[in-house]
């Protein structure tokens, strides 16, 4: 701390005790006087008369030299204590007004544990010390704070006073790491624009950067300091600028990161199981210990799974399943045990659970009896009994009824052994799939190969994954079996071995060949892949897939019924059909409910069903990181009769925390309904690596590097982070040299008398 004395403060106050040494010349003078003894002799009378004549002048000369020597010792001690003129500036010589700009990193990585406390705790400590020192030594200077997570500055251009110190202390107390990342280039640009109006009011510009200085935030792909950062530093006037960097991060060798949580199925259906894939990665440079991976549903039921040690850079994906009893908005959370960086130890996924999935079955060969219909076994697979809820709402039509249907009402369309479709219907179907709808083709005896290729293949621009060729195989001798060509495919997750063992006893009698696809030399069209093949890995494709716009298309090159195979009687048939439907059907758009640090949720509701007032709160009770607040939904637009909910962080800021959020909607009938969404940090926020002083300086141009002062914790404790402006030791040095010269001249002059 600083010791203040009148209008002067000292950087090394303990050295002021050295001023006591000023008494040494006086002590020597007194001791020398006591050494004389009186001896009378004859010539003494003449000397005594001469001494009495000059005694007054000699005493004055001795006292003057004594005072000069005492002053020299005191001045030397005063100089070594490094005095500074305070804000009152009694000397009127040294002070020039400065603008002190604190850039504080409150990104997610600042929650990292660094010994005792976190990087954020160290930031608060250093920021407090700076403001405390400025308050005692730079009263009247200007002060501004720039937070990484806020667009607008705090304390903009405020004079440094005791009141400012108290307010800044409260500001730091409330400061927490946010899900936002450090974008130093943008922050410097905001700082430059904010302080520009004060350029004429300050002769010096002091910028203090307090951050953990993570490489992933500061370095570009070439490993050099980002060009944007250098460009923004150059905006500041270099003749006034001084950069002071205060690192608060520490290099770590271990960090487990929960990288993602994804839903495997296209959508969740009430009463049906939903699979979630959770990926963990060891971002550290050493092997991790064994750990537990947790999974939580709607803030309630939890399961834990032990995971063996992960090597550095290794990823591990675990599958969790959950079943939801009610339709509506839900969320799941995966989490790791606490480690050095809590921010990347959890991920939340918000989504909706549908009452059912709507499936359109188009039957190209209805048959005389229900069991002879082309889609009979498909319908049985999707809805096996009246007692068990399948989650699929089936609509069965024949190919003659297509003109009357709106594809957009369905999550999945299955065309089973149809002859063809009219061009206008094909166009509607293409638009449906391109917008995200799911489509499955089954071939059969009704298929006219040339017409299908013309309407559905279109030289690779149509819906078919691949062009069809001739029919092959012998129904009477169904010797060929089903082979899983891609066991890792989502359709077979956790069931590949079971399906493969069951499919090995299925007899495939007839199928359509795919043009230029069979054999080792066969090439499938770009974007097309084989999931099932006939007999072995070299056999003709039995199930193909491709993406078409935002949707997916599957092509079974055999029938859906029992006409060309015995698969329908095998237990693997309903498993594959259900999983294929779940995989290819229209996917729920999850992105609108998974927000970044500054994301905005926009969701329309009906004013007939819901009131306008909305409450925003944490998804889990007891999460005090997220303050509760209310707002109103507004009219979506002039033409729409819907209300628009816009859930956003405070203007110009990031969300206060990562994790699950809940919007509580009040219904007109008096009930309430929850709408969940999640906020996630930048995926690389947990990547370790701290930038060193040498690397930081090397990335800056020379004119900026010369302005940089790198201050570790020890330097801050000595208060050397303050600008030397205001120190008067240089002036005292000149005065000391002048006194020494004066003392020498006077001693020589008086000695000649």
DSSP of 141-152, one letter per residue? -EEEEEETTBSS
Is 324 within 8 Å of 268 (Cβ atoms)? yes
Q: 256-354+590-679: which CATH architecture?
A: Sandwich (2.60)
The answer to whether 98-251+692-725 and 357-584 have equal CATH topology is: yes
Burial class (CB within 10 angstroms; exposed 0-12, middle 13-18, buried 19+) of 734: exposed
**Quick one: pLDDT at residue 510?**
92
Enter the DSSP assignment of 450. Answer: H
pLDDT band (50, 70, 90) for residue 88: very low
**Quick one: pLDDT at residue 6?**
40
CATH, domain 357-584, list 1.20.1530.20, 3.40.50.2300, 3.40.50.880, 3.40.1350.10: 3.40.50.880
Domain 98-251+692-725 falls under CATH 3.40.50.410: yes
Burial of 246-266, coded b for 16+ CB within 10 Å and e otherwise, reads bbbbeebebbbbbbbbebbbb
Please give the Cα distance from 299 to 619 (Å, whole number): 7
- Smallest Cα–Cα separation from 214: which of 695, 597, 680, 655? 695
Three-state DSSP string of 20-78 = HHHHHHHHHHHHHHHCCCCCCCCCHHHHHHHHHHHHHHHHHHHHHHHHHHHHHHHHHHH
**Quick one: pLDDT at residue 82?**
64
Task: Read off the pLDDT of residues 323-379 as tens digits, 9 standing for 90 and up.
Answer: 999 999 999 999 998 888 888 999 999 999 999 999 999 999 888 788 889 999 999
What average pLDDT does range 136-153 have in this prediction? 92
What average pLDDT does range 293-314 have in this prediction? 94
Q: Is 313 helix (H, G, I), strand (E, B) or coil?
A: coil
Q: Give me the helices (H) in 531-668, please.
A: 572-584
Task: Read off the pLDDT of residues 500-537 as tens digits, 9 standing for 90 and up.
Answer: 999 888 888 899 999 864 443 457 888 999 999 998 88
Is 562 within 8 Å of 377 (Cβ atoms)? yes
Using the structure block, give the residue that is written with the tokens 């009040």.
Answer: 666
**Quick one: pLDDT at residue 191?**
96
Q: Count how many residues are written for the chain.
A: 753
Element (H, E) at 413: strand 412-416
pLDDT of 236 over the 80 cut = yes
**pTM of the predicted model as reported, rounded to 2 decimal places:** 0.80
Residue scoring higher pLDDT (91 or 81):
81
Task: Read off the pLDDT of residues 566-584 as tens digits, 9 standing for 90 and up.
Answer: 999 999 999 999 999 999 9
Phi first, then psi: what are they for 534, rounded to 5°? -85, 125
Task: Read off the pLDDT of residues 675-717 as tens digits, 9 standing for 90 and up.
Answer: 999 999 998 998 889 999 999 999 999 999 999 999 886 555 4
Cα→Cα distances 77→18, 26, 70, 80, 81, Å: 5, 17, 11, 5, 6
Cα→Cα distances 324→278, 346, 352, 740, Å: 18, 21, 10, 90
Residue 476: CB atoms within 10 A of its CB come to 7
**Quick one: pLDDT at residue 2?**
36
- Smallest Cα–Cα separation from 175: which of 135, 210, 133? 210
| Annotated domain spans of the chain | 3-34+43-89+730-751, 98-251+692-725, 256-354+590-679, 357-584
Please give the Cα distance from 647 to 599 (Å, whole number): 9
Task: Read off the pLDDT of residues 394-418 as tens digits, 9 standing for 90 and up.
Answer: 999 988 888 778 999 999 999 999 9
pLDDT band (50, 70, 90) for residue 22: low
Please give the Cα distance from 262 to 264 (Å, whole number): 6
Please give the Cα distance from 328 to 418 (Å, whole number): 36
**Quick one: pLDDT at residue 737?**
72
Please give the Cα distance from 396 to 375 (Å, whole number): 8
């Amino acid at each position: 701390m600083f010791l203040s004395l009148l209008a002067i403060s000292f950087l090394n106050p303990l050295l002021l005790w050295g001023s006591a040494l000023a008494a040494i010349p006086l002590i020597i003078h007194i001791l020398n006087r006591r050494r004389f003894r009186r001896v009378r002799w004859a010539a003494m009378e003449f000397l005594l008369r001469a001494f009495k004549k000059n005694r007054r002048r000699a005493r004055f000369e001795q006292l003057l030299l004594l005072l000069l020597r005492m002053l020299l010792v005191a001045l030397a001690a005063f100089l070594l204590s490094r005095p500074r003129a305070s804000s009152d500036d009694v000397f009127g010589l040294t002070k020039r007004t400065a603008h002190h700009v604190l850039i504080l990193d409150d990104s997610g990585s600042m929650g990292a544990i660094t010994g005792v406390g976190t990087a954020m705790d160290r930031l608060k400590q250093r920021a407090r010390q700076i403001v405390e020192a400025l308050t005692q030594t730079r009263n009247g200077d200007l002060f501004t704070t720039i937070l990484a997570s806020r667009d607008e500055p705090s304390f903009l251009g405020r004079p440094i006073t005791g009141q400012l110190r108290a307010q800044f202390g409260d500001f730091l107390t409330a400061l927490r790491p946010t899900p936002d990342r450090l974008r130093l280039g943008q922050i410097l640009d905001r700082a430059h624009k904010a302080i520009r109006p004060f350029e004429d009011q300050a002769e010096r510009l002091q910028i203090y950067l307090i951050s953990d200085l993570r490489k992933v935030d500061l370095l570009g792909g070439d490993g050099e300091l980002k060009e944007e950062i250098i460009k923004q530093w150059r905006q500041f006037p270099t003749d006034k600028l001084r950069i002071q960097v205060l690192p608060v991060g520490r290099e770590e060798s271990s960090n487990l990161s929960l990288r993602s949580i994804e839903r495997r199925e296209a959508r969740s259906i009430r009463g049906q199981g939903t699979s979630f894939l959770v990926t963990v990665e060891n971002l550290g440079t050493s092997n991790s210990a064994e750990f537990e991976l947790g999974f939580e549903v709607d803030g309630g039921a939890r399961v834990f799974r032990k995971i063996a040690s992960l090597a550095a850079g290794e990823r591990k994906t675990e599958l969790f399943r959950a079943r939801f009893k009610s339709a509506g908005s839900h969320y799941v959370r995966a989490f790791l045990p606490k480690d050095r960086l809590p921010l990347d130890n959890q991920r939340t996924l918000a989504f909706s659970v549908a009452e059912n999935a709507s499936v359109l079955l188009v039957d190209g060969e209805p048959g005389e009896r229900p069991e002879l219909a082309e889609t009979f076994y498909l319908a049985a697979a999707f809805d096996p009994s009246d007692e068990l809820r399948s989650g699929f709402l089936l609509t069965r039509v024949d190919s003659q009824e297509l003109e009357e249907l709106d594809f957009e009402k369905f999550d999945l369309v299955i065309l089973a052994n149809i002859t063809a479709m009219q061009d206008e219907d094909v166009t509607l179907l293409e638009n449906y799939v391109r917008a995200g709808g799911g489509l499955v083709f089954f071939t059969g005896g009704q298929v006219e190969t040339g017409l299908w290729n013309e309407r559905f293949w279109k030289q690779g621009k149509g819906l078919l994954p691949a062009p069809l060729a001739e029919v092959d195989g012998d129904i009477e001798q169904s010797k060929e079996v089903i082979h899983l060509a891609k066991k890792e495919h989502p359709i077979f997750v956790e069931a590949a071995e079971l399906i493969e063992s069951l499919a090995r006893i299925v007899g495939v009698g007839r199928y359509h060949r795919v043009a230029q696809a069979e054999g080792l030399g066969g090439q499938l069209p770009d974007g097309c892949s084989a999931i099932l093949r006939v007999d072995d890995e070299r056999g003709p494709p039995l199930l193909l897939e491709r993406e078409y716009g935002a949707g997916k298309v599957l092509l079974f090159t055999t029938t859906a019924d029992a006409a060309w195979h015995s698969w329908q009687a095998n237990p693997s048939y309903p498993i594959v059909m259900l999983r294929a439907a779940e995989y290819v059907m229209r996917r729920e758009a999850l992105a609108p409910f998974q927000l970044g640090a500054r994301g905005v949720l926009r969701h329309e509701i009906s004013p007939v069903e819901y009131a306008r007032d909305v409450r925003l709160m944490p998804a889990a009770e007891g999460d005090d990181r997220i303050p509760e607040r209310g707002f109103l939904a507004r009219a979506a637009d002039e033409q729409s009769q819907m209300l628009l909910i816009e859930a956003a962080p405070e203007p110009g800021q990031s969300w206060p925390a990562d994790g699950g959020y809940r919007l509580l909607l009040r219904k007109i009938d008096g009930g309430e309904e929850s709408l969940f969404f999640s906020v996630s940090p930048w995926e690389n926020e947990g990547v370790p690596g701290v930038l060193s002083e040498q690397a930081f300086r090397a990335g800056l141009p020379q004119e900026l590097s010369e302005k940089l002062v790198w201050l570790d914790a020890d330097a801050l404790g000595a208060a050397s982070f303050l600008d030397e402006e205001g120190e008067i030791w240089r002036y005292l040095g000149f005065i000391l040299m002048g006194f020494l010269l004066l003392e020498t001249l006077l001693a020589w002059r008086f000695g000649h008398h």
